[in-house]
Structure 1
Amino acid sequence: MDLRGLLSFYFLLLLVAQPHPGNGASSRGSIFGQRRTPAQEIGTCETTVVKQGYPCQEFYVTTKDGYILNMQRIPEGRVANGEKKQPVLLQHGIFADGMTWFTNQPEQNLPMILADNGFDVWIANTRGTRFSRRHAFLDPNTKEYWDWSWDELAANDLPAFVDFIYSQTGRKVHYVGHSLGTLTPLASFSQGLVVDKVNSAVLLSPIAYLSRVQSILLNVAANTFLGEAAGLIGIAEFNPKGDPAVDSFLRSICTSTGLNCNDLVTSLSGFNCCLNASAINNYPENEPQSTSTKNLIHLSQIIRTKVIAKFDGLLLYNLRRYGAFRPPVYNVANLPRDLPLFLGHGGNDAISDVEDVQYLISILKYHLGDNLKSLFVKDYGHFDFIRAVNAKDLVYNEVVDFFKSQK
Structure 2
Amino acid sequence: MVPKIVLLVALAAITVNARRAPHADYIESLFKANNGGRFSSDILEDSLLDAPGLVAKYGYPIEIHHVTTSDGYILEMHRIPHGRDEHNTRDPSKPIAFIMHGLLSSSADFIVKGPGNALAYVLAEAGYDVWLGNARGNYYSRDHLTLKPDSNINQNFWKFSWDEIGNFDLPAFIDYILETTGQSKLHYLGHSQGGTTFLVLNSLRPEYNEKFISFQGLAPASFMDNNDVSMFQSLAPFENVIESTAYLLGYGEVFGDRDFITEFKANYCGEGSIFTELCSSTITGLNEREFYNSTMVPLFLAHAPAGASIRQIAHYGQVIKFEAFRRYNHNSLTNLIVYGSRNPPPYDLSKVTAPSYLHYGASDKEVNYRDLHNLASKLPNVVGKYRIERETFNHYDFIWGIDARQVLYDKLITLMKDAESRL
TM-score, length-scaled by structure 2: 0.79
- Aligned runs of 1:126-145 on 2, under 5 Å? 126-142=135-151, 143-145=155-157
- Aligned runs of 1:213-224 on 2, under 5 Å? 213-224=227-238
- Aligned runs of 1:4-403 on 2, under 5 Å? 43-45=50-52, 47-79=53-85, 80-83=88-91, 84-142=93-151, 143-171=155-183, 172-191=185-204, 192-225=206-239, 227-228=242-243, 229-231=245-247, 233-239=249-255, 241-243=258-260, 246-247=264-265, 251-252=269-270, 264=282, 272-336=289-353, 339-364=354-379, 367-368=380-381, 371-377=383-389, 378-403=391-416
After superposition, the C-alpha distances for 1:207-253 in whole angstroms (9 at most, x for unaligned) are 10001111111211222446243245552122363326643576237
After superposition, the C-alpha distances for 1:156-193 in whole angstroms (9 at most, x for unaligned) are 00111111100011221101111111101011112215
- Over 3 Å counting, the alpha-carbon distance change for 1:105 and 1:267 in structure 2 is closer
| C-alpha contact (below 8 Å) 2:231/2:281 kept by paired residues | no
The alignment yields a C-alpha RMSD, in angstroms, of: 2.9
TM-score, length-scaled by structure 1: 0.82
Q: 1:5 maps to which residue?
A: none
SS of the residue corresponding to residue 275 of structure 1 reads coil
Deviates most, 271-280 or 65-74? 271-280
Return the alpha-carbon distance in structure 1 between the equivalents of residues 334 and 273 of structure 2.
35
Return the alpha-carbon distance in structure 2 between the equivalents of residues 354 and 75 of structure 1.
34
Q: 2:43 maps to which residue?
A: none
SS of the residue corresponding to residue 121 of structure 1 reads strand
- Over 3 Å counting, the alpha-carbon distance change for 1:250 and 1:161 in structure 2 is farther
- Over 3 Å counting, the alpha-carbon distance change for 1:190 and 1:262 in structure 2 is closer
Return the alpha-carbon distance in structure 2 between the equivalents of residues 57 and 306 of structure 1.
41
- Over 3 Å counting, the alpha-carbon distance change for 1:104 and 1:250 in structure 2 is farther
Return the alpha-carbon distance in structure 2 between the equivalents of residues 312 and 212 of structure 1.
21
Amino acid of the residue matched to residue 356 of structure 1?
D
After superposition, the C-alpha distances for 1:298-337 in whole angstroms (9 at most, x for unaligned) are 111001111111111111111121121111110222211x
Amino acid of the residue matched to residue 351 of structure 1?
E
SS of the residue corresponding to residue 342 of structure 1 reads strand
Q: 1:25 maps to which residue?
A: none
Amino acid of the residue matched to residue 145 of structure 2?
A
Return the alpha-carbon distance in structure 1 between the equivalents of residues 412 and 232 of structure 2.
29
Return the alpha-carbon distance in structure 2 between the equivalents of residues 266 and 183 of structure 1.
26
Structure 1 position 202, deviation (Å): 0.7
Return the alpha-carbon distance in structure 2 between the equivalents of residues 403 and 249 of structure 1.
47
After superposition, the C-alpha distances for 1:278-314 in whole angstroms (9 at most, x for unaligned) are 2223332111122111222111100111111111111
After superposition, the C-alpha distances for 1:338-367 in whole angstroms (9 at most, x for unaligned) are x22111111111111121112112223xx2
SS of the residue corresponding to residue 316 of structure 1 reads helix
Amino acid of the residue matched to residue 370 of structure 2?
E
- Over 3 Å counting, the alpha-carbon distance change for 1:272 and 1:344 in structure 2 is farther
Return the alpha-carbon distance in structure 2 between the equivalents of residues 200 and 149 of structure 1.
25
Which structure 1 residue ranges, 5 or more long, are not aligned? 1-28, 34-39
Return the alpha-carbon distance in structure 2 between the equivalents of residues 208 and 399 of structure 1.
21
Amino acid of the residue matched to residue 181 of structure 1?
G
| C-alpha contact (below 8 Å) 1:272/1:381 kept by paired residues | no
- Over 3 Å counting, the alpha-carbon distance change for 1:208 and 1:262 in structure 2 is closer
| C-alpha contact (below 8 Å) 2:74/2:142 kept by paired residues | yes
| C-alpha contact (below 8 Å) 1:56/1:72 kept by paired residues | yes
SS of the residue corresponding to residue 177 of structure 1 reads strand
- Aligned length, in residue pairs: 366
Amino acid of the residue matched to residue 367 of structure 2?
S
| C-alpha contact (below 8 Å) 2:231/2:278 kept by paired residues | no
Give identity over the alignment, percent: 29
Amino acid of the residue matched to residue 51 of structure 2?
T
Q: Which has the higher contact order (CA 8 A, sep 6+)?
A: 1
